[in-house]
Amino acid sequence: MAVHRAKRLPVVDARGAVQGVVSRSDLLKVFLRPDADLAAEVRDEVVGRLFSAPPGDRVDVRVDAGVVTLSGRIRDSALVPLAARTALGVEGVVDVRCALVTGSGERAAS
């Protein structure tokens, strides 16, 4: 886009039908959020909603260059895929890694 000085590009499906338009600012804004802001939103929107109720759950959030790492001990490993998908939905998050273990010490599958 920069080489051709394009400010917007069409987004097309496999058949070539236009589905929308993407701008340079759309593509760049996800990289503009500081890791601390991303971590705070993931703590509130993901950890606070999914893991705060059961006693004994302790989930830590670390963000490095937009990559979220969830670590700690949880009781319900069924929540791990939901937590990963929800965290990935936070604007500015590039990837999610789960290093969560269940109360028994078993690594929770992501």
* Encoded tokens for 54: 């059961």
Give me the residue label for tokens 């992501």: 110
- pLDDT at site 94: 87
| CATH 1.20.1630 at 35-102, yes or no | no
Domain with CATH 3.30.1340 in the chain: 35-102
Q: What is the mean pLDDT of residues 66-83?
A: 91
Q: How far apart are CA 50 and CA 59, in angstroms?
A: 10
Decide: helix, strand or coil at residue 97: strand
Q: How far apart are CA 3 and CA 86, in angstroms?
A: 35
- pLDDT at site 33: 87
Q: What is the mean pLDDT of residues 1-18?
A: 90
- pLDDT at site 87: 96
* Encoded tokens for 57: 């759950």
What pTM was estimated for this model as a whole? 0.68
Condensed to tens digits (0 to 9), the pLDDT of residues 77-94 reads 888 999 999 999 998 898
Beta bridge partners of residue 58, listed in sequence order: 73
Condensed to tens digits (0 to 9), the pLDDT of residues 41-56 reads 999 999 998 887 666 6
* Encoded tokens for 14: 């496999």
Query: Do residues 72 and 59 touch, judged by C-beta distance below 8 A?
Result: yes
